[in-house]
Homo-oligomer: A and B are copies of this chain.
Amino acid sequence: METIAARAATQPKKKSEKKSAAAAYCPVRDVLHHLSDKWSMLVIRELGTQPVLRFNELKGAVPGISQKMLTTTMRKLEQNGMVRRTVFPQIPPRVEYALTPLGHEFHGHLTKLMQWACNNSAQIVGSRARK
């Protein structure tokens, strides 16, 4: 894995690459940017538990999310190859969501991180209390 510092150090000195080469692409930043919104990780968590969920099931599983944000989030996750979206053309409509293999891999890492967060949340919250 490359660090940001290392990447910055290896940047050739092109003068005036359009508008400052601050756009140096970094895969970590890119992936992080697309997953660190308010709902993505929570949705992935639910889809990692349940193998397949319908729209309203997801909505019920993630308290507080609006239809708008759920739709937006699912579309983005689909774009990023994390989620497979299956539409059943019928009345009433039926849409099912499931993690892709890629999504499952991500969920594996995420799960450990969340488990850790759960175990240490007391200490984290405790840190906020002092001063």
Contacts and interface: CB of A to CB of B under 8 A. Distances in A.
Contact of A4 (B2, B3, B5, B61): B61
Contact of A27 (B61, B106, B121): B121
A41 interface: yes
A123 B5 contact: no
Interface residues of A, number: 54
Interface string A117-131: 110110111111000
Nearest to A36: B36
Count the copies. Answer: 2
A128 B30 CA distance: 12
A128 B36 contact: no
A109 B109 CA distance: 7
A10 B36 CA distance: 28
Interface string A1-24: 111110010000000000000101
Nearest to A122: B27
A32 interface: yes
Contacts of A46: 3-5
